[in-house]
């Protein structure tokens, strides 16, 4: 039978379990276990992937954890201090799959490789152990393999450093430094405590590094616990005194001035990033770009709640499908898709830079032939940045070299497509220059060296093209000829023994051997054949032999094959060195290809969906004509349903004044939330450099965007739905300024009617008088429409509906004016409430409206109204006594909310001399 346990196939001190059982030890450990324990002790916070032959093995508690996480069999291997040693393993060729699952579950993995050939270990003695050591720590923020990464998303490693406060009451300052080790991107910025969560939400890092002290900060503990993959590190990683030296040493520069004017806090965060990279990559240096500082205010500030409400890159369910990013992504390369996501997450606030991007899109919108040719050529461009990173870290393979070759060639080819443009905008012209930076000589050398069919792993060999190296060709000929000799030898042995089923096979333990069935084994062990065939191993069903002739031939074959592979690996390293030497040029080329892809994709989107170029300036204007929701429109189009476009004008009434606020009323399901969101999304699209779904758009740069739409709780932090609503509203009122755009929906609906109305009332006044921002405020509190008489920049708008035979028809048109009612009962009918409930609700509503007309419940006591407050008329003595008796009989502590409401209606009916029943 075949061997079922692959452990130790390349270990000289172990034999397969069919030949020798695993040793039991008490009081001491085997050399292999001693080595494992020593390496594990140096990496206590990681699962240790311990290389043994063709498997990564895990032992002790690591094995138990991995077996549960991966759903693989937990077995045992020998004993340690009298106890069974738990063990599990994963095959090397599937290790990326298992690593991905472990990392996704929050584990860190130390990869321990064999550092020498087992044959070398044998030379030191039969019990010598193959040298091993950890070559890499795999963490969520330091992944480079395509199989472990989402090709369309960046995987950021983020370090957060906090400044020491110099005075009581001073606002805490933070520096953020983030790296994508797979592409080399490296950026830094400073922020405040109020904006910290918004910045982290923008980046969506794969792993966050913080100091132990910051991780234990009482005010931040709930926040850190809510985030995935937060890694607290010792104090030395965030030591500001040594930060500059560590950063400059990593980049081999004399002083940090080479990176621009970085503050000490920014240097601390940046140094923490590179220190962690050095420790996890164990000496391998990824091709990081020098840190680039992002200026405060360079991008539109969008807080975490707003990103979630608007579903920019993910839906509320966490899916990409259905998000704005999914709706607008027409990129044809993974690098382009990543750049598009970056731009969507951080729309610009500099109108000149926005126009530069729009110029590139406009040039391609206007030339269908060039756009189609460009996008066709881009489809052949591989992911240059990630291939370069893997090669620099020693994790690359022949296919990464071919990606560099093909990428350089594609970049040179596609620039020819752009030559046909009538005018070349600056964005495209700069990209063309960068596409020509990598040396064509490098591409030609890679084309000459690499074969047509390339293995994934370099140790598989066979990737160097025949004719590239004469010495390699000679060794390959010797190797291949020897293999033909093996086949001839097998045929001769079969004829000489009369055993037609005789085979010559090979494995890593025995090398070449003769294998026959058990029935024929006795024949080879009996005279005269036993003089030629030497018994090696007996298994269930097979018997294995060797011969002197076979041993000598094996030595020749092994020598030729090993020398050929060694020469190929030398050629691989030489080619890698040539690629890395041009790393900066290749990275520039990769970025240029991504920019061209994004420009082409946004042009394609604009042409497909009839988007218009927005006018962007530094005014407070906000005028949208025929605006549409980019996600909803596409969803309706799949069903053949047209989207109803609407205008929106939040521009100041007079030059120099603050922008308008629209107060929008209308029933649920009429489209208020869609209208609110679409205008926010149009602003984001415009400032990221995209055409927008509208006939025309004039937008004065929005510096901060706030959206409070929808309802959600946060029970993990002890917050009800209403509490979350109030927290988010408070953040808006405390931070919004004249250049902000504020989108609010149904503020105050999560509490009692008058409480909620009062909060909504005060919120509108604050937005108008204090924040002075542009805004859209949707509400069911029709009483708020009276505010337009006093607040000059507040305008009423409503979503039109029609009633038809008792049903409500939604027209989805936003017009000036106020809704006469909410049509809640009609919407409830559409939702499927039972008919008796609908009819009862109509009767109660009619009664309540009749009473309200008889004794209006207005706001006569507010300063806004001049009419004196009318006191209620005292009830007759008898009625008064009856009411007191009824009240005395009530026990509020024992009543359900429904019983309390019914009792209140009963009291009201008695007071009015009528009964709603």
User: Is 895 part of any known ligand binding site?
Assistant: no
Residue 555 is given by DSSP the state H
User: Is 667 part of any known ligand binding site?
Assistant: yes
Residue 735 burial (CB count, 10 A): 17
Among 475, 550, 549, 559, which residue's Cα sits nearest to residue 510? 550
User: Is 668 part of any known ligand binding site?
Assistant: yes
Return the residue matching tokens 């899916």: 319
Structure tokens at 389: 């990173």
User: Is 666 part of any known ligand binding site?
Assistant: yes
Return the residue matching tokens 């290389």: 51
Structure tokens at 279: 């420790």
Chain centroid to Cα 566, Å, comes to 39
Alpha helix segments (H runs only) across 503-622? 518-525, 548-581, 583-609
CB distance 412 to 433 below 8 Å: no
CB distance 797 to 817 below 8 Å: yes
For residues 160 and 166, give the distance between their C-alpha atoms in angstroms, rounded to a whole number: 19
- H-run or E-run covering 118: helix 118-123
Residue 849 burial (CB count, 10 A): 11
Structure tokens at 659: 């922008």
The alpha carbon dihedral of 232, 234, 240, 245 has a sign of: negative
Return the residue matching tokens 């043994």: 52
User: Is 444 part of any known ligand binding site?
Assistant: no
For residues 264 and 256, give the distance between their C-alpha atoms in angstroms, rounded to a whole number: 10
For residues 455 and 279, give the distance between their C-alpha atoms in angstroms, rounded to a whole number: 30
Please provide the DSSP assignment of 2-71 as one string. -----TTTT-TT---TTTSPPP--SSS--HHHHHHHHHHHH-TTSEEEEEETTEEEEEHHHHHHHHHHHT
Please provide the DSSP assignment of 617-645 as one string. ESSS-EEEEEE--HHHHHHHHHTTPPP--
* C-alpha distance from residue 537 to each of 133, 185, 546 (Å): 33, 56, 10
Residue 579 burial (CB count, 10 A): 24
Structure tokens at 403: 């990606």
Total residues belonging to the chain:
917
Distant-in-sequence, close-in-space partners of 885: CB < 8 Å, separation ≥ 6: none
User: Is 671 part of any known ligand binding site?
Assistant: yes
CB distance 143 to 182 below 8 Å: yes
For residues 163 and 264, give the distance between their C-alpha atoms in angstroms, rounded to a whole number: 9
- H-run or E-run covering 800: strand 794-804
For residues 260 and 848, give the distance between their C-alpha atoms in angstroms, rounded to a whole number: 69
- H-run or E-run covering 536: strand 534-538
The dihedrals phi and psi of 75, each to the nearest 5 degrees, come to -125, -160
Residue numbering of the annotated binding site for ATP: 666-673
Annotated binding site: 666-673
């Amino acid at each position: 039978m075949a061997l079922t346990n692959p452990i130790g196939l390349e270990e000289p001190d172990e034999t397969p379990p069919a030949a020798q059982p695993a040793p039991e030890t008490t009081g001491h450990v085997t050399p292999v276990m001693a080595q494992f324990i020593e390496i594990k002790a140096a990496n206590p916070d990681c699962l240790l992937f311990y290389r043994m032959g063709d498997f990564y093995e895990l032992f002790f508690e690591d094995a138990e954890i991995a077996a549960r996480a991966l759903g693989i069999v937990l077995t045992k291997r020998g004993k340690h201090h009298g106890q069974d040693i738990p063990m599990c393993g994963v095959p090397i060729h599937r290790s990326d799959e298992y690593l991905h699952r472990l990392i996704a579950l929050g584990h860190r993995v130390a990869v321990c490789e064999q550092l020498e050939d087992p044959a070398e270990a044998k030379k030191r003695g039969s019990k010598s152990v193959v040298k091993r050591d950890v070559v890499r720590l795999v963490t969520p923020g330091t992944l480079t393999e395509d199989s472990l990464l989402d090709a369309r998303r960046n995987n950021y490693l983020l370090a957060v450093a906090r400044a020491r406060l110099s005075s009581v009451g001073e606002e805490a300052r933070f520096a953020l430094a983030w790296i994508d080790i797979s592409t080399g991107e490296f950026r830094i910025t400073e922020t405040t405590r109020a904006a910290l969560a918004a910045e982290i939400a923008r980046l969506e890092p794969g792993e966050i590094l913080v100091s132990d002290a910051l991780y234990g900060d009482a005010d931040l503990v709930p926040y850190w616990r809510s985030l995935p993959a937060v890694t607290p590190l010792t104090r030395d990683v965030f030591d500001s005194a040594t930060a500059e030296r560590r950063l400059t040493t990593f980049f081999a520069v004399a002083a940090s001035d080479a990176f621009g004017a970085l503050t000490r806090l920014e240097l601390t965060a940046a140094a923490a990033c590179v220190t962690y990279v050095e420790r996890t990559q164990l000496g391998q240096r990824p091709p990081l770009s020098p840190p680039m500082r992002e200026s405060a205010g360079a991008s539109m500030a969008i807080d975490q709640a707003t990103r979630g409400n608007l579903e920019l890159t993910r839906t509320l369910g966490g899916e990409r499908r259905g998000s704005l990013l999914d709706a607008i992504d027409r990129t044809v390369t993974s690098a382009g898709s990543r750049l598009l996501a970056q731009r969507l997450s951080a729309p610009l606030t500099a109108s000149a830079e926005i126009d530069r991007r729009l110029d590139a899109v406009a040039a391609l919108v206007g030339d269908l032939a060039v756009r189609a040719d460009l996008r066709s050529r881009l489809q052949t461009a591989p992911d240059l940045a990630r291939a370069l990173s893997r090669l620099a870290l020693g994790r690359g393979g022949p296919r990464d070299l071919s990606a560099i070759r093909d990428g350089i060639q594609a970049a040179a080819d596609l620039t020819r497509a752009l030559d046909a443009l009538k005018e070349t905008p600056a964005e495209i012209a700069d990209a063309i220059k960068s596409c020509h930076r990598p040396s064509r000589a490098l591409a030609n050398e890679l084309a000459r060296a690499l074969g047509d069919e390339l293995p994934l792993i370099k140790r598989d060999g066979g990737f160097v093209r025949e004719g590239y190296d004469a010495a390699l060709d000679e060794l390959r000929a010797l190797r291949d000829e020897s293999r033909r000799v093996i086949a001839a030898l097998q045929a001769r042995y079969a004829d000489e023994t009369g055993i037609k089923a005789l085979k010559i096979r090979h494995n890593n333990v025995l090398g070449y051997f003769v294998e026959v069935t058990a029935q024929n084994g006795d024949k080879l062990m009996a005279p005269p054949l036993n003089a030629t065939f030497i018994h090696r191993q007996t298994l269930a069903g097979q018997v294995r032999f060797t011969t002197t002739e076979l041993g000598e031939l094996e030595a020749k074959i092994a020598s030729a094959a090993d020398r050929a592979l060694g020469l190929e690996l030398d050629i691989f390293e030489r080619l890698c060195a040539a690629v890395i030497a041009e790393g900066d040029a290749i990275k520039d080329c990769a970025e240029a290809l991504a920019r061209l892809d994004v420009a082409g994709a946004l042009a394609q989107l604009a042409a497909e969906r009839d988007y218009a170029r927005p006018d962007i300036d530094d005014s407070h204007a906000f005028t949208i004509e025929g605006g549409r929701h980019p996600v909803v429109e596409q969803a309706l189009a799949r069903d053949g349903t047209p989207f109803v476009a609407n205008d929106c004008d939040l521009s100041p009434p007079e030059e120099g004044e603050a922008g308008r606020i629209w107060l929008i009323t209308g029933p649920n399901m009429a489209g208020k939330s869609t209208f609110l969101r679409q205008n926010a999304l149009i602003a984001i699209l415009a400032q990221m450099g995209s055409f927008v779904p509208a006939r025309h758009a004039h937008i004065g740069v929005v510096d901060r965007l706030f959206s409070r739409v929808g309802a959600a709780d946060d029970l993990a932090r002890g917050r009800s739905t209403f509490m979350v609503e109030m927290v988010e509203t408070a953040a808006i009122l405390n931070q919004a300024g004249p250049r902000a755009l504020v989108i609010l929906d149904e503020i105050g609906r999560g509490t009692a009617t008058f409480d909620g109305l009062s909060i909504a009332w005060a919120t509108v006044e604050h937005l108008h008088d204090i924040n002075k921002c542009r805004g859209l405020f949707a509400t069911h509190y029709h009483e708020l429409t009276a505010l337009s008489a006093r607040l000059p920049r507040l305008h009423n708008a409503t979503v039109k509906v029609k009633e038809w035979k008792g049903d409500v028809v939604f027209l989805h048109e936003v017009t000036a004016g106020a809704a006469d009612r909410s049509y809640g009962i009609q919407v409830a009918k559409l939702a499927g409430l039972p008919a008796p409930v609908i009819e009862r609700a109509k009767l109660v509503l009619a009664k309540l409206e009749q009473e309200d007309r008889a004794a209006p419940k207005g706001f006569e006591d507010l300063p806004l109204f001049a009419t004196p407050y009318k006191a209620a008329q005292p009830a007759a003595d008898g009625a008064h006594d009856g009411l007191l008796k009824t009240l005395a009989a009530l026990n509020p502590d024992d009543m359900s909310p429904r019983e309390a409401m019914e009792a209140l209606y009963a009291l009201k009916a008695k007071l009015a001399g009528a009964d709603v029943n």
